[in-house]
Amino acid sequence: MTRLLLITDDTPQALALASALSSSADFQIHHREKLAEARGAIVAGAFEACLFLASRIDAEICHEISTARALAPALALVAVAPAGATTDAQPRLLTAGADSVLFQPLDVDALAVHLSRLTGRGSLAVSAPEKPLTASSPSSLNAKNEALSTALEVLRDFSRVLGYSLDYRQLTHQFILKLREVVGVSRIAIFLEPGAADALPATARSDSTSLPCIAAVGVPADLVECFALTRKSGLGRQLTLQPQILRAPTQSAAPMLDAKIAREFEVIGGQVAIPVNDRERTLGVAVLGGRITGGEFSDEELLLVYHLLEELGLAIKNSWLHHQLVGSHRLFGTVLNGLTVGALVVGPAQRIAYANRAILDFLGGPDATTLEMTDLPPNVAARLHEVTEKGGDVVPFFHETSSPVRQEFRVTIIPLRQPDGRLPQTALLLLEDFTQVRAGQRAEIEASNLKLISLIARRFAHEIRNSLVPLTTHAQLFETEIGNEDFRDSLRAALNRETQRIQRFTDQMLLLARADQPPAELASLEEILRASFEKSRAYVGGNATLDIKSDLPPVLLRCNRASLTHAFQEIFLNGLQSSHDSSRRVTVGLHAMPSSERPSELVITVRDGGEGFAADSAPRATEPFYTTRNTGVGLGLTIAQRVIAAHAGRLEIHSRLLPADADLTIRLPLPR
């Protein structure tokens, strides 16, 4: 990677050129408007090349180039003259100190190759570390080393509390200040991978492999801002692949294979690089300069510093986890606070840990800022206590308020159980405003009830009017025709027929109101069937035949005789009314269906002499007030179904697929 300093006051052009160079070659580009802004970094040797984009050729740009040459004699300087520059531009810029002069418009690929050639002139020699200012005897040196080791051990033990710190940048800064004080190191720089994006500059955020400097002592500020390690090469790559202490090469030592490492040691002014890890992986690199006194570090000292940095890595990792948790908590709180559903979290200590804006408005009013457990309605608090303290499950329920405005809420309590099932536990309470929904449901029910009442009134008014017509006709002729025997016979027949019809309507309404009367007596099924058929035949008049086909011995059913008789009466009456006058025969089949899982089942099939149920009317035959005839109110089969269901049975209605198919099937449990 080539570190390039770009000097120009044309920011858009600088951004465009930086983007083009980054995509065509491995460049790390830092833009400054004036050379003075990067003076310290240039002196420290942070850059391999400097590119001047001149808007005009004048004394100022020549002075900038000559200043850069004076600050860094080995720095590759390239000047770019504007399009249309005069012929003396190139000699003036070369005389000022530029290594080469290019002209606009630039060929980016050619520029990248040119810069690579200029910066490939060889790495700088690394000067040997200075000798200590004073010499010490072996005994005094050992004593000092023992004292220093003891201090470092104390600091190492103390560093275990660093895992509780939350601000990793401040923590790291205080750490290196203390380390510098104890060890006496001249400069320290900590390079760390991005952990919290909002705490890093844009250039570091855009490169996931970058290791920017997050804390430094004894290093120029502009160098800290411009200089970063990378996992792609140099110290960052070396310590990521081999996380061990690395010393800078000396003149007497064998040259290092990677010249980038020597270059980075030189730029930072460091002598030792130590990995910063969290006992799982390398998070960054710590670069230490020499001692303030000029001495060298012993292996024991560096080992203790390594362990200190390991504790620092654990603390940094904890800080990152804390920031992630805080971010997740804020996101979760923002989501809950934006809901129109009230949300409240109650902790194991029976304290409200969180309440969103909606529930504050519901329970405390628009001015409420907090809620206490005593602010919850008693029935809601009681069920919440049951969930948190006893671990129970509560089905959603409704809570209604009466003041100042009547509201209805649907309350849902969700337990947030501990992994080990420990009690008490946390619970989430959701409060949904169902005031409008419930009002709409009540309005819909009221409208449906009114519609049903209207339908009942129309049907019964029609049937009663039909019954009253012959009666009122005879009443009008009563005075003049009472002596006529034919009139008296007609009146007698009309009274008998219409009173039976009105009596049937009355029985239907009573059974509709109390069709679930419990079966309380044993009765013969055949007797019930024949009694029901006789009532049906008397109602329709004329001749009719009941044919019972059974492969069972006499069957006794536990039933309510009156209601079951009426149910079969409605079934037979429906069959007789559907039959032709010449074929008024109803056939009933009795069979048993054994079962190992439940009581044996009695199967009763019914078939009349008519054409059977149409395919579209069979599914609707038991609907209240559904009828395909001009007479009747359409309640007969509805009542029959309700009575049979009250006897733990089922009524099934079919359309015929074959001529011999049954029209109805009744299934009733046989007594054990």
Listed residue (582, 574, 575) closest to 633, CA to CA: 574
Q: Which of 14-28, 62-76, 241-255 has the lowest mean pLDDT?
A: 241-255
* Token pair of 576 as six digits: 């007789």
Domain count, the chain: 5
* Other CB atoms within 10 Å distance of the CB of residue 570: 25
DSSP letter assigned to residue 340: S
Shared domain for 154 and 272, answered yes or no, is yes
Q: Is residue 129 part of a domain?
A: no
Torsional sign, CA 164, 167, 171, 174: negative
Confidence bin at 24 (pLDDT 50/70/90): low
**pTM score, two decimals?**
0.47
Long-range pairs, 404-410, Cβ under 8 A, ≥24: 406/435, 407/362, 407/433, 407/435, 408/433, 408/434, 408/435, 408/438, 409/342, 409/362, 409/433, 409/434, 409/435, 410/434
Q: Is residue 128 part of a domain?
A: no
Shared domain for 367 and 282, answered yes or no, is no
User: How far, in Å, CA of 290 to CA of 268, rounded?
Assistant: 11
User: How far, in Å, CA of 245 to CA of 239, rounded?
Assistant: 8
Provide the pLDDT for residue 664: 92
Shared domain for 160 and 271, answered yes or no, is yes
Tell me the C-alpha to C-alpha distance, in Å, between residue 165 and each of 160, 188, 214, 431, 647.
Answer: 10, 21, 16, 38, 73
User: How far, in Å, CA of 171 to CA of 128, rounded?
Assistant: 33
Shared domain for 415 and 502, answered yes or no, is no
Q: Is residue 326 part of a domain?
A: no
Contact residues for 218 (Cβ-Cβ < 8 A; gap 6+):
180, 186, 187, 188, 269, 289
DSSP letter assigned to residue 80: E
Shared domain for 240 and 115, answered yes or no, is no
Confidence bin at 427 (pLDDT 50/70/90): very high
User: How far, in Å, CA of 619 to CA of 652, rounded?
Assistant: 9
Q: What are φ and ψ of residue 383, in 5° steps? A: -75, -30
Output the domain CATH number for residue 107.
Answer: 3.40.50.2300
Confidence bin at 498 (pLDDT 50/70/90): confident
In angstroms, how far is CA 332 from the centroid of its own chain? 10
Provide the pLDDT for residue 127: 40
Shared domain for 283 and 165, answered yes or no, is yes
Final residue of a structural domain among 320, 354, 373? 320
Shared domain for 194 and 292, answered yes or no, is yes
Shared domain for 532 and 484, answered yes or no, is no
Final residue of a structural domain among 296, 320, 344? 320
Q: What tens digit of pLDDT does each residue of 307-321 get?
A: 889 988 888 888 888
Q: What tens digit of pLDDT does each residue of 33-57 get?
A: 999 888 888 888 888 899 999 888 8
Output the domain CATH number for residue 562.
Answer: 3.30.565.10
User: How far, in Å, CA of 290 to CA of 184, rounded?
Assistant: 9
Average of per-residue pLDDT across 500-525: 75
Q: Is residue 349 part of a domain?
A: yes
The chain-wide mean pLDDT, for the chain, equals 82
Shared domain for 282 and 156, answered yes or no, is yes
Average of per-residue pLDDT across 87-109: 89
Shared domain for 298 and 265, answered yes or no, is yes
Q: Is residue 127 part of a domain?
A: no
Shared domain for 202 and 269, answered yes or no, is yes
pLDDT exceeds 50 at position 202: no
pLDDT exceeds 60 at position 136: no
For residue 468, what are the domain limits?
A: 439-509
Shared domain for 646 and 588, answered yes or no, is yes
Contact residues for 545 (Cβ-Cβ < 8 A; gap 6+):
584, 585, 586
Output the domain CATH number for residue 227.
Answer: 3.30.450.40
Q: Is residue 131 part of a domain?
A: no
User: How far, in Å, CA of 52 to CA of 42, rounded?
Assistant: 14
Final residue of a structural domain among 279, 296, 320? 320
pLDDT exceeds 70 at position 356: yes
Q: 129, 296 in Cβ contact below 8 A? A: yes
Q: What tens digit of pLDDT does each residue of 438-480 get?
A: 788 778 888 877 777 777 777 777 777 777 888 888 888 888 8
Q: Is residue 31 part of a domain?
A: yes
Output the domain CATH number for residue 377.
Answer: 3.30.450.20
Q: Is residue 325 part of a domain?
A: no
Average of per-residue pLDDT across 550-554: 88
Q: 286, 189 in Cβ contact below 8 A? A: yes
Q: What are φ and ψ of residue 266, in 5° steps? A: -65, -45
